[in-house]
A and B are shown apart, each in its own frame.
Chain A
Amino acid sequence: MLYAHMHISSFLKDVSGQPGIGAVSALQMSRRAALIGGFCLCCLPSSTAAATMTEVGPGIFIRAAPHEEAAAANHGGIANIGFVVGRDSVLVTDSGGSLTDGEWLRAEIRKRTDKPIRHVLITHVHPDHSFGAAAFAADRPAFVGHHALRSALEARGEFYQKRLAEVLGAESAGSVVYPTQEVMKDGAEIDLGGRVVRLSAHATAHTDCDLSMLDVETGLLFPADLLFVNRVPSLDGSLPGWLAELDKLKALGASRAVPGHGPPIVDMAPAMADLTRYLSTLSDGTRKAIASGVSIEDAARSVAQSERDRWVLFDDYNERNVIQAYKELEWE
């Protein structure tokens, strides 16, 4: 998910419609509304209080997040987050969308294990994946990120922090945490004690700092936001790059994955097929618009509309995706 520098407009829009924090009636409304197709889910709050961890594999716990924008009622918890327990230590990926969200996750970990939290992955720069990291500072873990994450955070972190604080309040938003261990192009392995995870630093795709993880023992893949399920993907890196990285992920041969947005665990093949279809439709449609002289604003309104009924929050992101694709592809 992205609420990158430019998408704050809709961010503010969503906040203005918030009825206040933690109202039970709001939560119920959210549930009911979520059942009604075609509703603007983005404007409806939920609460992380209702969120639950799902054990998707031995020692692997994931909280699946609602498909919403960051808001006071959801504490910024709009991305899938969780942890992996090894013999010796715990690894967190991702840590949450705010300090509050991260603190919630930390409490969930402590309900299940007392093992030290030695690694916190920050899978990319977007705030819904990076701002929970501050909740783990006292554990003194290694904060692990793509080699390009630091400069991306330096460029945008302060901006994200400010906007997030406007939505959640400064004390809930938390602060920017920089990686203390960088994963280079060759990748890296982390041993949690009898349990090895393999990390890959990807070429520019969803963003310019995407990190994925493979749990070697179970073969479960953690593609983070390289894989969106049900929630419309957001493009903030490179469209041809993302399609190329998807091919590399497919080649890993994992049959199941924990997506950055969507259910806590999915079968890889259909989920990747859906995402590939959306990105290909976006790419083909944008290239065609450029070739036939369709302006960027007309392209934004028309490209990939065949995908509209297949994704939650489509209208909130697709036009922006087309603009991103257009400004990249027009120089081809």
Chain B
Amino acid sequence: MKILPLAICLAVLAGVPLTRASASEPVNMEPERQERWNQIAQYLFGDRKVEPTETLIKLDAPKRAQDAALVPITLTMPEKNGIKSVYLVIDDNPAPFAAKFTFGPAADAGSVQLRVRIDTYTNVHAVAETKDGRLFETAAFVKASGGCSAPVAASDEKAMAGMGEMRMKFAEGAAAGKPVEATLMIRHPNFNGMQKNPITQYFTPPRYIDKMSVSSGNAKVFDLEADISLSTNPVITFSFVQNGREPLKVVASDTKDGHWEQGFDIPAAMN
């Protein structure tokens, strides 16, 4: 079935939070950078067409990263009911694919926020896949340096302390029947293979969270696939539609053998 973006847009407009004026820098159009993106798009999506959009997905990123190992990114999908998944790609990171969110029935796909490492001056692409299988991209240019190899902590032991501990914060002011914004925090060094162990001077082997899944009762909010670019102690902000009083359940696993699960009761005031 074909989605009619305009109709959806009107239908959900009331639920869309006020959007900030974007402070992002426009995509850099240098031929080499465009060629880089074409290669990545080919790798990720094969021969599928990836169309530019100014409406279906918006990317908010700082022009200049204050902390290249913690660059906050906001993806906004105004026509959220038509969105199946979103990709974040950092073109010139050693592994460009950063994250893919696949939304489930309990999701409010209007926006997600995450924090990433950015290694160099690069275009950052956001791609939305609609439920009818089309791909749309937007991009911003971010000036950052050294985010991927920046040391995590004074020692690997310190960095790994409390690994897997989770917190969930719910935004205040939610009303019954309305989407609820939540922020998930999880302690994890997210070693990406590029940090040196300060003691041994060898590169710390990669160990990062590559899968995360959030559900409201039995209904999926989103599945996240991630690669080396998520920041240490990942923090993800998303919205979901409440499923009765069912707790929010998080399942996370990393590239070694780490596996963590936790349920979070939704504050009573929201029910």
Residues of B within 8 Å of A158, CB to CB, are: 196
Are B67 and A320 neighbours in the complex by a CB distance under 8 Å?
yes
Number of interface residues of B (CB under 8 A): 38
- The answer to the question of A5 belonging to the interface, with a C-beta cut-off of 8 Å to chain B, is yes
Of A19-27, A91-99, A188-196, A290-298, the one touching chain B: A290-298
Docked pose: A152 CA to B146 CA in angstroms: 17
Of B39-47, B148-156, B261-269, the one touching chain A: B148-156
Are A159 and B145 neighbours in the complex by a CB distance under 8 Å?
no
Residues of B within 8 Å of A327, CB to CB, are: 70, 233
Counting chain A residues whose Cβ lies within 8 A of the other chain, the interface size class is 20 to 34
Other-chain residue from A5, A292, A300 in contact with B68 (beta carbon distance below 8 A): A5
Are A320 and B66 neighbours in the complex by a CB distance under 8 Å?
yes
Other-chain residue from B66, B199, B235 in contact with A154 (beta carbon distance below 8 A): B199
- The answer to the question of A47 belonging to the interface, with a C-beta cut-off of 8 Å to chain B, is no
Are B67 and A323 neighbours in the complex by a CB distance under 8 Å?
yes
- The answer to the question of B36 belonging to the interface, with a C-beta cut-off of 8 Å to chain A, is no
Closest-by-CB residue of A relative to B62 is A297
Docked pose: A297 CA to B196 CA in angstroms: 28
Are A8 and B198 neighbours in the complex by a CB distance under 8 Å?
no
Are B198 and A9 neighbours in the complex by a CB distance under 8 Å?
no
Are B172 and A6 neighbours in the complex by a CB distance under 8 Å?
no
Other-chain residue from B65, B113, B143, B154 in contact with A152 (beta carbon distance below 8 A): B154
Closest-by-CB residue of A relative to B199 is A151
Are A319 and B66 neighbours in the complex by a CB distance under 8 Å?
yes
Chief secondary structure at chain B's binding surface: loop
Residues of B within 8 Å of A324, CB to CB, are: 67
Other-chain residue from A10, A156, A159, A292 in contact with B64 (beta carbon distance below 8 A): A10
Are A9 and B64 neighbours in the complex by a CB distance under 8 Å?
yes
- The answer to the question of A12 belonging to the interface, with a C-beta cut-off of 8 Å to chain B, is yes
Chief secondary structure at chain A's binding surface: helix
Chain B proximity mask over A8-35: 1 for CB below 8 Å, otherwise 0: 1111110000000000000000000000
Residues of B within 8 Å of A319, CB to CB, are: 66
- The answer to the question of A148 belonging to the interface, with a C-beta cut-off of 8 Å to chain B, is yes
- The answer to the question of B59 belonging to the interface, with a C-beta cut-off of 8 Å to chain A, is no
- The answer to the question of A155 belonging to the interface, with a C-beta cut-off of 8 Å to chain B, is yes
Are B154 and A5 neighbours in the complex by a CB distance under 8 Å?
no
Closest-by-CB residue of B relative to A317 is B66
- The answer to the question of B72 belonging to the interface, with a C-beta cut-off of 8 Å to chain A, is yes
- The answer to the question of A210 belonging to the interface, with a C-beta cut-off of 8 Å to chain B, is no
Residues of A within 8 Å of B146, CB to CB, are: 5-6, 8, 159, 163
Are B64 and A151 neighbours in the complex by a CB distance under 8 Å?
no
Docked pose: A331 CA to B234 CA in angstroms: 12
- The answer to the question of A330 belonging to the interface, with a C-beta cut-off of 8 Å to chain B, is yes
Closest-by-CB residue of A relative to B149 is A159
Most B CB contacts (10 A, CB to CB) among A11, A158, A323 go to A323
Are A296 and B68 neighbours in the complex by a CB distance under 8 Å?
no
Most B CB contacts (10 A, CB to CB) among A7, A152, A300, A327 go to A327
Residues of A within 8 Å of B245, CB to CB, are: none
Docked pose: A249 CA to B240 CA in angstroms: 49
Residues of A within 8 Å of B181, CB to CB, are: 293
Chain B proximity mask over A52-72: 1 for CB below 8 Å, otherwise 0: 000000000000000000000
Docked pose: A324 CA to B233 CA in angstroms: 13
Docked pose: A180 CA to B226 CA in angstroms: 43
Are B154 and A12 neighbours in the complex by a CB distance under 8 Å?
no
Are B65 and A5 neighbours in the complex by a CB distance under 8 Å?
no
Residues of B within 8 Å of A12, CB to CB, are: 145
Are B171 and A6 neighbours in the complex by a CB distance under 8 Å?
no
- Besides A159-B149, A293-B171, 14 other A-B contacts (C-beta < 8 A): A5-B149, A8-B145, A13-B143, A148-B154, A154-B198, A155-B151, A155-B198, A295-B72, A297-B60, A300-B66, A320-B67, A323-B67, A323-B70, A330-B235
The interface of chain A, by Cβ under 8 A from chain B, is 5-13, 148, 151-152, 154-156, 158-159, 163, 208, 292-293, 295-297, 300, 319-320, 323-324, 327, 330-331
User: Can you list 21 A-B contacts (CB < 8 A)?
Assistant: A5-B68, A6-B66, A6-B69, A6-B70, A6-B144, A8-B145, A9-B66, A9-B143, A11-B145, A13-B64, A151-B154, A151-B155, A151-B198, A154-B198, A155-B151, A159-B149, A208-B154, A293-B171, A293-B181, A295-B237, A331-B167
Q: Which 3 A-B pairs have the closest CB atoms?
A: A155-B198, A5-B150, A320-B66
